[in-house]
A and B are shown apart, each in its own frame.
Chain A
Amino acid sequence: MLKNRIIPCLDVKNGRVVKGINFVDLKDAGDPVEQAKIYSDGGADEICFLDITASNENRDTIYDVVKKTSKRCFVPLTVGGGVRSVEDINKLLNCGADKVSINTAAVENSKVVIDSSKKFGSQCIVVAIDAKKNGDKWEVFTHGGRNNSGIDALLYAEKMEKNGAGELLVTSMDRDGTQVGYDIELMSKISSRVNIPVIASGGVGNLDHLVDGIKLGKASAVLAASIFHYGKHSVKEAKDYLDSKGIPVRI
């Protein structure tokens, strides 16, 4: 039976791990390579690096982090943040990333998703959707949550599946950093609309939120940052808890 995945996410800035509260007020939580190794040894099903300020700063540090991590961690590694072009994707894959997540570039130029999924295969193309509720719909935000594209997130999710995305990483901008739980309605609506796996992100504060993301949000995988890397919970604790709630996990 296919297991639901737990994916610790490390926000990386200038080669160091940070986690923002609503994308600002950053704290330093250590070396990403060491952190990733701790996670993979602890049973993380995948590791995710998000280069949060990549759009406007020197990106070379992330390539180095990916290279070092991929020589030490033998679980899938997803890298996102500031990915603009097919060439950027190629470079990250060559450094040892297994999947690349594309956010702003997928909104601005759908050819990036179409071309890269053709060139490298859908299995390594993750489209990251940052969505924020506006009335009775959700809108897609770009540039690390700074710009509202006005695009309907549900329709956009369907379009990205058609364009060749292998997975969708859905982050609720309303919940990110708040620790009050995933936006379950958003997750379940998107998951019901597409036939590709959805990774839920944004808002995890406790282990029950992970359970809700899978059971109610219908996500195939749950991504979380701060509950893991400030030592609040280990990945193993999270898996044992999910297991106790009847969710299939790799233990």
Chain B
Amino acid sequence: MNVTIVDYKSGNISSVINSFEEVAKDKVNIEVTSDLNKIKSSDKVVLPGQGSFKSCVEALNNINGLTDILNEFAITNKKPLLGICVGLQMFADIGYEETETKGLGWIAGKVSKIDNQNGKFKLPHIGWNQINIVKDSKIFKEINNNSHMYFVHSYEFIPEDKNVISATTDYSSNIVCSVEKENIFGTQFHPEKSDTMGLKIIDNFINL
């Protein structure tokens, strides 16, 4: 099996690579590439994302044909795809970080700044927070409700259809921190930095 981590120059992805290699050992081949043919023929795709919504969308668009291939992979062919952090946020129709920017439009909704309630909540939301699992998700197999995951973000994904939400976390409000829509999975937290529980989520995705 091949799992491809999309390297679209969106910032630091070495931790994502390390964690997938740790879980995959020799059983699964982990590719790190922006090569369109390799992505197309891969069994699963991981879409990381660091920095702003705008910078990530721009970086995706900078690679000719990449969004088309991702659309084909996830929407037409319905193959498993995991978005992490801004990778998840880009599923939305639109993001409001820096300026209004169009997302991939895979899950209807928007990405807005977390309400800090006049400074009561510091932003970014950095650190370990508990996830409240609201629906069975294939990537949460053997993950206990209220497990701690590592977060670092200032913006939140607000999907229109609440049925896609698989977990929330409590920071200022109930922030959407995980989604599952058919073959599309996303985590706002960083499984690659969330110790053994995070590695288990990666393992679940690899073994889908």
> Interface on A for B, CB 8 Å cutoff?
1-5, 40, 45, 70-71, 74-76, 93-98, 118-124, 166-167, 195-197, 220-221, 250
Contact = CB atoms under 8 A, between A and B. Distances in A.
B127 A40 contact: no
B11 interface: yes
Nearest to A122: B124
Interface of B: 11-12, 14-15, 18-19, 21-22, 50-52, 55, 116, 119, 122-130, 148, 150-154, 170-171, 192-196, 198-199
Contacts of B125: 2
Interface residue SS majority, chain B: mixed
A195 B116 CA distance: 9
A94 B170 contact: no
B12 A93 contact: yes
Contacts of B55: 118, 121
Contacts of B15: 70, 74, 96, 98
Contacts of A197: 122, 124, 126-127
A78 to B, nearest CB: 11
26 contacts: A1-B170, A4-B127, A40-B195, A45-B127, A71-B21, A74-B18, A74-B192, A74-B199, A75-B195, A76-B150, A76-B193, A95-B14, A96-B15, A98-B15, A121-B50, A122-B124, A122-B154, A123-B153, A124-B11, A166-B152, A167-B126, A195-B119, A195-B122, A195-B123, A197-B127, A250-B148
Given A94-B12, A123-B50, A124-B12, A196 B193 contact: no
Given A2-B128, A220-B127, A120 B50 contact: yes
B195 A74 contact: yes
Contacts of A76: 150, 152, 193
B23 to A, nearest CB: 10
A3 B195 contact: no
A92 to B, nearest CB: 9
Nearest to A75: B195
B22 A74 contact: yes
Most B CB contacts (10 A, CB to CB) among A74, A75, A166, A167 go to A74
A235 to B, nearest CB: 12
B50 A250 contact: no
A98 B50 CA distance: 11
A155 B51 CA distance: 26
Contacts of A4: 127
B126 A121 contact: no
B150 A121 contact: no
Contacts of A5: 127-128
B185 to A, nearest CB: 19
B43 to A, nearest CB: 23
B202 to A, nearest CB: 9
Given A71-B18, A74-B199, A94-B12, A221 B50 contact: no
B194 to A, nearest CB: 7
B129 A93 contact: no
B12 A70 contact: no
B199 to A, nearest CB: 6
A120 B12 contact: yes
Most A CB contacts (10 A, CB to CB) among B12, B123, B150 go to B12
A70 B14 contact: yes
Contact of A75 (B52, B153, B193): B193
